[in-house]
């Protein structure tokens, strides 16, 4: 198995109670800067510890994850991360110009000597509101955007695109990606429809924050759909993103993480009128009582074994949880690298 470090980009200032959008006046300017410096520190550490990739996601209007522009951050990553791959997991296509995304990723691939990997996403309900995208069309827009980007990376000649949501008369991306035909591309498999799309385009499958039985089900679905398309994915084609906390003992891990729960869905805080308008967007996640991987190194290895059994070969891990100090996050990450990662390599 391979392991990536998901940079949490956690706001270094005092947490706010307001869910989304959070008023800019609550952002401490110095804390914002400190957040970026810490993130850089963690990237360097992840690279030194031997993680296979470092990843960044895209989120807006909130201190939860300070990464509204993953491309800017990925550009900085190419300068400080020397060995690990640069994983942009990932740009939200309903909020983007796909041709611009194709250009920027190609530029990143050139800057990093071919170390880019990418996951294209549609975004959660709150993200769709950022630039006033239509939630009912988000999936279709994302899928067309992916097709357009793949054409932009592989067509040898300039071309036009007469889409349902995108229309271009001239597309001719420079530079070309260093990786041929293009960087590894992941697509979300968090809904059955998206799994089918992913297999039909021969893309890698990315799952996030879903439960183990659902992971197994999606992987089976992916493999069945791929077989119909005439190809056979392996565990190396399946990525799972989650939280982890590794402590010296199960008791310590429980103690460190039991004070808080995580609720993924920010839309639950919005008015009824807004939520009803978002009904076509992805279902809001439930509460999580604890990180997906949580415990001593031995316990975490068992949990990873179950993940491997479910068909996952790539893990994108954020070592964060509410209540954990920055130092505890670093400690957990280092313990994972020293006591878990070596055994994971052989799985």
Partner 1 sequence: MATHTEGTLACNGITIRYAELGTGQPVVVFPAAGGTLFDDVTTALADQYRVISLDISPFREREGVDDVTHLAPALARLGISSFCVVGVSNGAASAVIQAVYAPDVVSRVILVAPTRAILQHPQLAAKLGEVKAPTLVLVGTRDRSGAREVGQLCRAQIPVCHLLFVYDAGETIAAERRDACLSPMTEFLEKGEGFIVSQESQLIRP
Answer yes or no whether residue 180 interacts with partner 1 by CB under 8 A: no
Give the shortest CB-96-to-partner 1 separation in angstroms: 17
Which one, of 212, 224, 214, 236, lies nearest residue 305 by Cα?
212
Answer yes or no whether residue 163 interacts with partner 1 by CB under 8 A: yes
Answer yes or no whether residue 276 interacts with partner 1 by CB under 8 A: no
Answer yes or no whether residue 148 interacts with partner 1 by CB under 8 A: yes
Question: Mask of contacts with partner 1, 307-326, x by CB under 8 A?
Answer: --------------------
Q: Which is nearer to partner 1, 148 or 315 (CB)?
A: 148
Is the distance from CB of 27 to CB of 63 less than 8 angstroms? yes
The structure tokens 């089976």 sit at 220
| Residue 130 DSSP class | T
Is the distance from CB of 159 to CB of 166 less than 8 angstroms? no
Answer yes or no whether residue 160 interacts with partner 1 by CB under 8 A: yes
Q: Which is nearer to partner 1, 24 or 160 (CB)?
A: 160
Q: Which is nearer to partner 1, 151 or 176 (CB)?
A: 151
Give the shortest CB-6-to-partner 1 separation in angstroms: 32
Q: Of 41, 79, 155, 309, which one interacts with partner 1 (CB under 8 A)? A: 155
Three-state DSSP class for residue 119: strand
Q: Which stretch binds partner 1 (CB under 8 A): 149-157, 178-186, 314-322, 324-332?
A: 149-157
Q: Which is nearer to partner 1, 78 or 130 (CB)?
A: 130
Q: Which is nearer to partner 1, 78 or 143 (CB)?
A: 143
Q: Of 23, 24, 170, 273, which one interacts with partner 1 (CB under 8 A)? A: 170
Answer yes or no whether residue 230 interacts with partner 1 by CB under 8 A: no
Give CA separation, 167 vs 159, 182, 226, in Å.
11, 22, 29
Answer yes or no whether residue 161 interacts with partner 1 by CB under 8 A: yes
Three-state DSSP class for residue 110: helix
Is the distance from CB of 5 to CB of 53 less than 8 angstroms? yes
Is the distance from CB of 202 to CB of 226 less than 8 angstroms? yes
Backbone dihedral angles phi then psi of residue 54, each to the nearest 5 degrees:
-120, 135
DSSP states of 289-334:
SS-SEEESHHHHHHHHHHHHHTT--EEEEE---TT--HHHHHHHHH
Residues that bind partner 1 (CB under 8 A): 144, 147-148, 151, 155-164, 166, 169-170
């Amino acid at each position: 198995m391979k392991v990536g470090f998901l940079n949490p980009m956690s706001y270094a200032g005092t947490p706010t109670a307001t869910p989304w959008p959070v008023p800019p006046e609550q952002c401490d300017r110095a804390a914002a800067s400190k957040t970026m410096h810490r993130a850089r520190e963690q990237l360097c550490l992840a690279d030194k510890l031997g993680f296979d990739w470092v990843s960044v996601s895209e989120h807006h209007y909130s201190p939860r994850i300070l990464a509204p522009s993953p491309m800017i951050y990925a550009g900085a990553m190419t300068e400080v991360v020397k060995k690990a791959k640069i994983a942009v997991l990932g740009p939200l296509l309903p909020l983007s110009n796909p041709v611009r995304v194709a250009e920027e990723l190609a530029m990143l691939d050139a800057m990093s000597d071919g170390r880019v990997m990418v996951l294209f996403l549609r975004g959660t309900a709150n993200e769709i509101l950022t630039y006033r995208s239509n939630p009912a069309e988000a999936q279709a827009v994302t899928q067309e955007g992916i097709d357009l980007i793949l054409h932009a990376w592989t067509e040898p000649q300039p071309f036009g695109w007469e889409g349902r949501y995108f229309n271009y008369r001239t597309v001719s991306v420079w530079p070309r990606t260093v990786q041929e035909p293009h960087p590894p591309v992941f697509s979300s498999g968090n809904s059955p429809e998206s799994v089918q799309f992913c297999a039909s385009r021969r893309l890698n499958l990315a799952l996030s924050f879903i439960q183990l039985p659902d992971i197994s089900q999606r992987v089976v679905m992916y493999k069945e759909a791929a077989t119909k398309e005439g190809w056979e994915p392996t565990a190396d084609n399946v990525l799972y993103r989650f939280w982890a906390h590794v402590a010296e003992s199960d008791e310590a891990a429980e103690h460190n993480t039991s004070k808080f729960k995580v609720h993924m869905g920010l839309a639950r805080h919005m008015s009824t009128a807004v939520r009803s308008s978002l009904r076509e967007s992805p279902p809001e996640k439930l509460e999580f009582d604890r990180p997906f991987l949580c415990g001593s190194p031995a316990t975490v290895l068992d949990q990873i074994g179950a993940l491997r059994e479910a068909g996952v070969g790539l893990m994108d891990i954020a070592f964060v949880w509410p209540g954990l100090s920055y130092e505890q996050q670093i400690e957990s990450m280092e313990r994972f690298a020293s006591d878990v990662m070596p055994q994971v390599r052989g799985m």
